[in-house]
Chains A and B, each alone.
Chain A
Amino acid sequence: MASENIENVIDQPEVMKPRMVTIEIAGKKVDVPEGITVIKAMWYAGIDVVRGVGCLGGFCGACATYYRTKDDPKVRTCLACQMAVQDGMSFTMMPPFPARKATYDIQALQDPKQDLFNLYPEAPLCRNCNACTEACPQKIDVREGVWKAVFGDFKSVSEMFMDCVMCGMCTPVCIADIAPNLVALYVSRAQGAHFTDKPVGLDTRIKEIQDGTFKNEWAKILKMNEKELAEHCATVK
């Protein structure tokens, strides 16, 4: 190990002496190195994963997984690409869940706050069990979000669900058959399309482009030879 510079080496006992741990993948016991991610543990165990892997960066929600740690009865949720395995852990990936998604033309909505109840009539039936919030790997207060949606506070919902990766783990646990992530998606889009200021500066810029405001500048730049263009570029800082 890089002896010339030993003072700048980070201690990582898990790398120097990888410890094998026994975990259970979908009910089958396997030995894998401690600390690798859940998804890497599946590859290590020789499992080809096609469904259940997407961005590998914690953003796409493809790898929604249920897991339990040793001797703990509580089944928790995680994104398989963002969770390290530990001894005695058992996990299984969540299959695609048949939640109902309403379809709508977001721009054509006349009264989006009322339309929520037509599109998702189950939304106001929340029984406050809080299972959705507990199931969220992104730590969103999902239950609170559903209530805020129902009470028409679309702005708060859109802010609370900016972290939502649409993994859908809030859905199978709902005893009122609400799909909170889909409700929040509708609410956020409605917030953006109907209840947010129109940016005036953007329209001005679009009009400037249509009117050819930059025509002369373009003409000047596009007829420059390579050297002139490079010199011009150097002046822009």
Chain B
Amino acid sequence: MDIHALQQIVHQTRDARRKQTIPKFSPTDRDHLIHKYHPDFRASAYRPIKFGPNEGDKTVVELATLLEGDSSIQDNVDLTPQYSCDVLVIGGGGAGCAAALHAHHAGVKTILATKLRLGDSNSVMAQGGMQISVAPEDSPVTHFIDTLKGGHMENDHTLLKVMVEDGPSIAKWLLELGVLFDRQADGNLHVKKGGGSSKPRLLTCSDYTGLEIMRVLKDEVINQKIQLLEFAAAIELLSDNDGNCTGAIFKDLDNHRQVVVAAKSVILATGGIGRLHIQGFPTSNHYGATGDGLCLAYRMGAKLAHVDTFQYHPSGAVYPEQLIGALVTEGIRSEGGHLVNAKGERFVNELDTRDVVSSSIIRECEEGRGIRTMSGRVGVWLDTPLLDAEHGPGTVEKHFPAMMMQFERFGINISKDPVLIYPTLHYQNGGVKIDTNSETNVKNLFVAGEASGGLHGRNRLMGNSLLDLMVFGKRSGLTAASRAKSMKQGALTLKHLQQFRTIAKKHGNASGVISPMILPAYTRKVG
């Protein structure tokens, strides 16, 4: 059928739906729904990791294979460093920029290396906002409770307390750097309500929150003249004789040469895993989201947490083909957008947590109440025109300019017509286990942002990622910097790699792949 004909049911049922209230699921129903429909519970997609710090723990096959993978570095490689620094930051997204800026500000020699350009990351795409409890009726404690509920009570309490309490001072830092958060008429920060949150707490810059923050942080990194190594992909870490981290080896993606960097501390801010396309899901993630930091840290002996759970953002585009997997911001649902099945019915409280909403969309589609595309995809409607009906004409255009433009390029006006959505692989809930200084169990190896784990439990609450990046980027940068002042550069060896290879050999060295992946293999090899 013509897409416009199929969309009619959404227009026809809009007024009736506006009168409805859909209650949230009870804890029992919610658990039942998630266990039945959430991709995290698809047992066939999982297997135990065969060796290493998380031996026996289950994760998705795609990740297990990379964690057990071998390094591309030969044992006899020359480890004479081309660069030396106090703090080496690997990754150029939000966490990496925040870490580098704070380390630099503390007065130590800092290098920021990234495999693409400075700023090419998921951070730049964050549309929904940043959770910080600034409203008078809100508090860090309420933020803590909401996050804990969202994370199925499995969040690391100490990490979480630190994040919610550091939040307001992070907002102040960003404002001082010139970030233009949306304001109320009285000059105070405007807050929006996000899925799974009991109070309005999202700071936003229209639907360009991540872009605005990243424009400013990138500019600041350049203004501060922090040394950059762009198109430099980390392929191995370095350790001293005690197993402490002392630097990294990079592959220059322009000329394929190896570059050795000696550092007193290393901060991995390498982001997530969307481009592994776990369970065949499309992804909202950037080109370089291939989990490199997890592989590097794991080979070094760093323990991972919650690597069996991933976030499938409820609203990834399903139509048109060109936008498959692209994110349709949660902001639409925050402002009252309904999810509607093929029968014109709502089926979930749209502001429930992401895992619940995603599971319910998958349920609708698996039970035949979805809308199919001819490329074999299926989805449900997100009623975007409802926002104009509810809050006045022009609302969608004014509040979601980025999304309007994205769909307009393919001839779709989302203020007039609903969009077809299905969950898209969005976020790695777990990662390398860290303490409140963002340090791993490997000394002088820090991990910040999406690559780290524990903070978000089994499901990250919307808007907590941008805050996570800033808080733990800062903490890692400051801790690494203060330590650098009282220590010497350690020896550069590959002992950890030799040990890892010995263990891998005992287990049959089965995976047979080289990791990290660096970039997904999208280039067609035939023809």
- Identify the A interface with B (CB < 8 A): 1-2, 4-5, 7-12, 14-16, 35-37, 40, 43-51, 53-60, 62, 82-84, 101, 103-107, 138-139, 158, 162-166, 185, 188-193, 196-206, 209, 214, 217-218, 221-222, 226, 229-230, 232-234, 236-237
A16 nearest CB neighbor, chain B only: B374
User: With A12-B373, A202-B168 as given contacts, are A82 and B140 in contact (CB-CB < 8 Å)?
Assistant: no
Counting chain B residues whose Cβ lies within 8 A of the other chain, the interface size class is 35 or more
Is the Cβ of B1 less than 8 Å from the Cβ of A59?
no
Q: Is B463 an interface residue (CB 8 A)?
A: no
**When chains A and B are docked, how far (Å) is the Cα of A203 from the Cα of B480?**
28
Is the Cβ of A60 less than 8 Å from the Cβ of B523?
no
User: With A162-B206, A163-B208 as given contacts, are A35 and B372 in contact (CB-CB < 8 Å)?
Assistant: no
B220 proximity list for chain A (CB < 8 A): 106
- Identify the B interface with A (CB < 8 A): 1-3, 6, 27, 116-117, 119-122, 124-125, 133-136, 139-142, 144-146, 148-149, 153, 157, 161, 165, 168-169, 171-172, 175-180, 183, 187-189, 198, 205-206, 208, 210-212, 215-216, 218-220, 222-223, 225, 231, 253-254, 284, 286-287, 319, 321-322, 326-327, 342, 368, 370-376, 401-402, 405-406, 409-410, 420, 519, 522-525, 527
B121 proximity list for chain A (CB < 8 A): 54-55, 60
* 15 further A-B pairs in the complex, CB-CB below 8 A; given A51-B231, A59-B210, A214-B141: A4-B368, A9-B1, A10-B2, A36-B322, A59-B124, A62-B116, A162-B180, A163-B405, A188-B215, A192-B179, A193-B178, A202-B189, A204-B136, A205-B134, A236-B146
A62 proximity list for chain B (CB < 8 A): 116-117, 120
A9 nearest CB neighbor, chain B only: B372
**When chains A and B are docked, how far (Å) is the Cα of A222 from the Cα of B342?**
46
6 contacts between A and B (CB under 8 A): A12-B374, A46-B523, A53-B287, A57-B326, A59-B125, A221-B144
A58 proximity list for chain B (CB < 8 A): 326, 402, 405-406
Is the Cβ of B372 less than 8 Å from the Cβ of A10?
yes
Is the Cβ of A35 less than 8 Å from the Cβ of B1?
no
Is the Cβ of A202 less than 8 Å from the Cβ of B134?
yes
Is the Cβ of A12 less than 8 Å from the Cβ of B117?
no
A226 nearest CB neighbor, chain B only: B153
User: With A62-B117, A106-B178, A192-B175 as given contacts, are A50 and B253 in contact (CB-CB < 8 Å)?
Assistant: yes
**When chains A and B are docked, how far (Å) is the Cα of A145 from the Cα of B322?**
31
B134 proximity list for chain A (CB < 8 A): 199, 201-202, 205
**When chains A and B are docked, how far (Å) is the Cα of A185 from the Cα of B219?**
8
Ranked 6 nearest A-B pairs via Cβ: A189-B178, A197-B187, A192-B178, A54-B120, A12-B374, A193-B178
Which of A40, A217, A232 interacts with B139 by CB under 8 Å? A217
B142 nearest CB neighbor, chain A only: A236
A234 nearest CB neighbor, chain B only: B27
A56 proximity list for chain B (CB < 8 A): 286-287
Is the Cβ of B208 less than 8 Å from the Cβ of A201?
no
Is the Cβ of A166 less than 8 Å from the Cβ of B405?
no
A12 proximity list for chain B (CB < 8 A): 319, 321, 373-375
**When chains A and B are docked, how far (Å) is the Cα of A202 from the Cα of B134?**
6
Which of B183, B225, B287, B368 interacts with A197 by CB under 8 Å? B183
* Nearest CB of B to A95, in Å: 12
Is the Cβ of A201 less than 8 Å from the Cβ of B188?
yes
**When chains A and B are docked, how far (Å) is the Cα of A48 from the Cα of B521?**
9
* Nearest CB of A to B471, in Å: 13
* Nearest CB of A to B270, in Å: 15
Is the Cβ of B153 less than 8 Å from the Cβ of A230?
yes
Is the Cβ of B27 less than 8 Å from the Cβ of A199?
no
Is the Cβ of B145 less than 8 Å from the Cβ of A232?
yes
User: With A45-B524, A59-B210 as given contacts, are A8 and B405 in contact (CB-CB < 8 Å)?
Assistant: no
